[in-house]
């Protein structure tokens, strides 16, 4: 008899964990609960998620105060989900990496969990697209823009350790002298000038076709050094991020109106989702817009995950500043900021 008690407890837990054990639910509710369980189980568990609360998705490119916003909104009782990309192309890329990589504890702990979470959140988004609301609430998404010129060095700090060996290898191949040793700042300066030359020729100011030309040029010039095309893609990423990650998934065009350019924020909606887009550079003054969007009486954004405090940030910032003060750097900045993305956000107004 005593042995049966644990078995009954397991059976009851199993029943609670499967929607088929919850009578009286319609198919939409049953499906939502299945999806929600996967969202919760694959989450980082840092911020608690409760199914009955309103849900906000921070769908944002990296280095746009995502950590601060997630912390502040979670503290106000919202379910806050955070992803940098949910597009099918990005998920296929993630799955390909998982299938090809050697299984390690880090791969399973981080990459596999993250991929499962992406799939679960993507399913949640599609549920809202089909059923419009849950508990009377539409789905809410917050996204931020950022000047591509400042975005690249901020994001590069996090990749520095992984990509610098490949950049050093490129630099040795690109040298025209027998001198094979150079300081990191000198190597980064030369690498940025190479990227700038490709950008000047490919002209991303012409739009997506210009970005594609840039990447094709990088692959053509440096087939044995894919780090060039990889870092160029990272530099150009903000220019196409919204059209990859927001418009196809949510069915809204964040740049269809001039309010983002003129006021630093815009809101776009359809019958199942509300999308708030903010400029990162104006975020401290746009907190009231976030409050209204989320129905909050007050909100304070803490400073979290600040790039300038990370190892190597000062050196990278100095190299980038030196580059931007050069003719090549000014041409590069102008091309990035006068792209369709840059003009829609008002970055073409920057000096």
End-to-end CA distance of the chain: 79
The mean per-residue pLDDT over the stretch 111-139 comes to 96
Domain ranges of the chain: 24-147+246-294, 148-244+307-349
Contact 32, 134 (CB under 8 A): yes
State which H helix or E strand residue 277 sits in.
strand 273-279
User: 164-191: string of b/e by CB count within 10 Å (b at 16+)?
Assistant: beebbebbeeeeeeeeeeeebeebbbbb
**Residue 1, pLDDT score:** 47
Phi-psi region of 12 (alpha: psi -120 to 50; beta: other; left: phi over 0): alpha
Query: What is the model's pLDDT at position 184?
Result: 86
How many Å apart are CA 154 and CA 267, to the nearest integer?
26
Determine the pLDDT at residue 351. 84
* Mean pLDDT rounded to a whole number for the chain: 89
**What is the mean predicted confidence (pLDDT) over 88-102?**
94
DSSP string, 105-166: HHIIIIIIHHHHHHHHHHHHHHHHHHH--BTTB-EEEEEEE--HHHHHHHHHHHHHHHHHHH
pLDDT in tens, 283-325: 999 999 999 999 999 999 887 655 555 666 788 888 888 999 9
pTM, two decimals, is: 0.88
**CA–CA separation, 351 and 346 (whole Å):** 11
Tokens at 33, concatenated: 């609960």
More confident: 79 or 23: 79
The number of C-alpha atoms within 13 Å of 227 and in the hemisphere containing its C-beta is: 19
Instruction: Find the range with the poorest average confidence among 158-162, 204-208, 307-311.
Output: 307-311
Q: What percent of the chain has a predicted confidence (pLDDT) above 90?
A: 75
């Amino acid at each position: 008899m005593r042995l049966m008690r644990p078995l009954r407890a397991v059976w009851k837990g199993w029943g609670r964990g499967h929607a088929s054990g919850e009578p009286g639910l319609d198919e939409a509710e049953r499906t939502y609960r299945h999806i929600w369980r996967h969202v919760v189980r694959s989450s980082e568990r840092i911020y608690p998620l409760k199914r009955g609360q309103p849900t906000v998705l921070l769908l944002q490119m990296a280095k746009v105060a995502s950590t601060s916003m997630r912390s502040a909104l979670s503290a106000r009782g919202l379910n806050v989900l955070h992803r940098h990309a949910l597009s099918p192309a990005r998920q296929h890329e993630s799955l390909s990496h998982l299938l090809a990589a050697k299984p390690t504890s880090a791969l399973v702990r981080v990459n596999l969990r993250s991929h499962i979470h992406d799939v679960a959140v993507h399913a949640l988004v599609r549920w809202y697209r089909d059923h419009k609301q849950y508990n009377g609430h539409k789905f809410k998404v917050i996204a931020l823009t950022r000047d591509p010129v400042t975005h690249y060095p901020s994001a590069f700090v996090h990749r520095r350790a992984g990509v610098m060996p490949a950049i050093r290898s490129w630099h040795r191949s690109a040298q025209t002298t027998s001198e094979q040793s150079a300081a990191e700042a000198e190597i980064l300066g030369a690498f940025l000038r190479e990227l700038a030359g490709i950008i000047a020729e490919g002209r991303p100011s012409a739009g997506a076709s210009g970005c594609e030309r840039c990447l094709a040029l990088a692959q053509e010039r440096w087939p044995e050094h894919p780090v060039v095309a990889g870092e160029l893609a990272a530099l150009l990423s903000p220019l196409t991020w919204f059209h990859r990650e927001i418009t196809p998934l949510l069915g809204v065009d964040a740049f269809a109106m001039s309010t983002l350019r003129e006021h630093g924020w815009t809101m776009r909606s359809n019958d199942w989702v509300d999308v708030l887009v903010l400029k990162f550079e104006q975020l401290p003054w746009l907190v009231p817009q976030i409050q209204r969007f989320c129905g909050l009486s007050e909100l304070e954004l803490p400073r979290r995950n600040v790039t300038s405090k990370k190892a190597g940030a000062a050196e990278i910032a100095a190299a980038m500043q030196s580059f931007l003060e050069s003719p090549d750097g000014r041409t590069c900045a102008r091309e990035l900021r006068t792209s369709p993305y840059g003009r829609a956000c008002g970055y073409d107004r920057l000096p």
